[in-house]
Amino acid sequence: MRAGFPDFRLGNVLATSFTGTLSERFGDSVERIPVPRRLIDWLAVYGLTVDSCTPEQLELARELRESIHAAATAAALREALPAAAVQVIDDRSVEGRAAAVLTPEGERRWRLGSSSVEDALAVIAADAVDVISGERDGKLALCASPTCRAAFFDTSQSRTRKWCDMNTCGNRQKKARFNAGRSSNEAGESGFAGPAPRE
């Protein structure tokens, strides 16, 4: 990744991975697409190559990102979807021109109509519609990390994943629990153990 910018947190589901371009929403938040060039870089990782990105297009992307996050969070909590978020997702979905194509290897890829940010956002929005509407096999859940709480799409067999990413949130939480347990054990060992036995 480009020097001077935070690394991307990549996942297998386009829409929820896109919401991960802003992480640690309830802690010290990290903006992973702070400038238009970084949005171009992120899109390219997912095969959505665009020619350029203006600051205005970056703002459109962030608006879509936050709308997907809001709608996916509501869906994970089984609450009513926020109407404004749904409207943004729907608008982005219908405004772009992109087509699903099949590669010789039998994989689906997207062909953008004009290599524009709007076309790429339409693909992300369409993926969000599939995930949030329940068309995809899996379950929306929220990361158990109190500083993250990212919506993620759980496709594990048991549908019991706790973390949006085991390598980041999961490991951090396990380490925190381990350190807390060790601290309480050390406090118990150094604490007052009662009167010394009489001889």
Is the pLDDT at 192 greater than 50? The verdict is: no
Token couple for 111: 């062909």
Is the pLDDT at 47 greater than 80? The verdict is: yes
| Residue that wins the pLDDT comparison between 185 and 37 | 37
- Residue-wise pLDDT for 109-160, tens only, equals 888 988 899 999 999 999 999 999 988 888 898 988 888 888 888 888 888 8
Buried (b) or exposed (e) across 117-139, using 16+ Cβ within 10 A? bbbbbbbbbbbbbebbeeebebb
- Residue-wise pLDDT for 62-104, tens only, equals 999 999 999 999 999 999 999 999 999 999 999 989 888 888 9
Is the pLDDT at 199 greater than 60? The verdict is: no
> Could you identify the residue written with the tokens 């996916």?
72
Contacts of 90 (CB under 8 A, 6+ apart): 125, 129
The pTM score is 0.81
CA angle 84, 98, 111 (to 5 degrees): 140
Do β-strands 30-31 and 22-23 pair in parallel, antiparallel, or remain unpaired?
antiparallel
Is the pLDDT at 190 greater than 60? The verdict is: no
Q: Is 100 left (phi over 0), alpha (psi -120 to 50) or beta?
A: beta
| Residue that wins the pLDDT comparison between 44 and 145 | 44
Q: What is the pLDDT of residue 197?
A: 44
SS (HEC) of the chain: CCCCCCCCCCCCCHHHHHHCCEECCCCCCEECCCCHHHHHHHHHHCCCCCCCCCHHHHHHHHHHHHHHHHHHHHHHCCCCCCHHHHHHHHHHHHHCCEEEEECCCCCEEEEECCCCHHHHHHHHHHHHHHHHHCCCCCEEEECCCCCCCCEEEECCCCCCCCCCCHHHHHHHHHHHHHHHHHHHHHHHHHCCCCCCCCC
